[in-house]
Structure formats: C-alpha cells, structure tokens
Amino acid sequence: MIITIDGPSSSGKSTLAKLISNHFSIIHIDSGSIYRAITFLAIENKLITNKKVQVENIIECLKNNIIEFKKNTDNKFQICINGEFIESKIRNTTISNNVSTVATIKEIRDYVLKLQRKIAINKSIVMDGRDIGSIVFPN
C-alpha cells in the first residue's frame, strides 16, 4: 500500500503523513528530506555557491554516496547519508535557502524519482511531497 500526500510548501503534508504513519503503523517517507540531503552534500562538497550549482559534480557525488532511509532509535525512518543520520544537519537556513535551486535540476529530480520508487518497492508507506501523487506514484 502506498499513500501519497501532495501539496505546496508548509501546507501540513508531513504532519498529516506522520499521523497516518502512526495510525496504520507504516513507514513515513518525507521526500523533501531527500532534496535536503542532496543539497547538504552539494554544500559540504562546495558544489553550490551563490545559488550556482555544479550539476555534473553533484551527480558524480551522488554516485559515491548512499542516500537512504533507516530506522532511528525511536523506530522511525529518517534520512541517512552513508549510514549517518543527518536530519539535524538538513533543517537549517543554509539548506532551506538552497534546496529549491537544487530541486529544480532535471538530473536531480530524475535521481530522486528513481530513489522514491525504489524505497516503495514491497513496502507499505506514506510519502509526502509536492508531486508524489501526480508524478512519483500517479496510479
């Protein structure tokens, strides 16, 4: 079972998704955290400066790092890079100020789309994001 929640920024998607996840005891995936993780990698590797993005280098960086969701100590799924939980590192002003620039890049969107679909294979999940029901899981 895949439950999707679409909507604009700050519309309550994640809040609703967490409630549904808890009610049905299924995995909640915050798709925005994937874009934030990629933005974090780009900034850490100095691949984004003044909102200018080195797209080819970010794609190469993604090939050398594993972005995934793992259970934390509270038994909730959170974003990780190479096994390290990074939730606290992706919720800040620097990431927020750059994530929309990264998220508009076609190659990044293609990467995230594949990752989102891979995450959902053989799992019951609720996933929230701006285009989850319309693009990622249209059926």
Domain extent for 59: 2-136
- pLDDT tens figures, 95-136: 999 999 999 999 999 999 999 999 899 889 999 988 888 889
pLDDT in tens, 25-46: 999 999 999 999 999 999 999 9
pLDDT at position 138:
86
What pairs with residue 80 in β-bridges? 68, 85
Place of tokens 């100095």: 46
Q: Which of 110, 83, 101, 113 is nearest to 47 (CA)?
A: 101
What pLDDT is stored for residue 116 in this prediction? 93
- Per the structure, the count of domains in the chain is 1
**Nearby residues of 9 by Cβ (< 8 Å), 6 or more positions away:** 130
Question: What CATH number corresponds to the domain at position 104?
Answer: 3.40.50.300
Contact 132, 31 (CB under 8 A): yes
Band (7; pLDDT cuts 50, 70, 90): confident
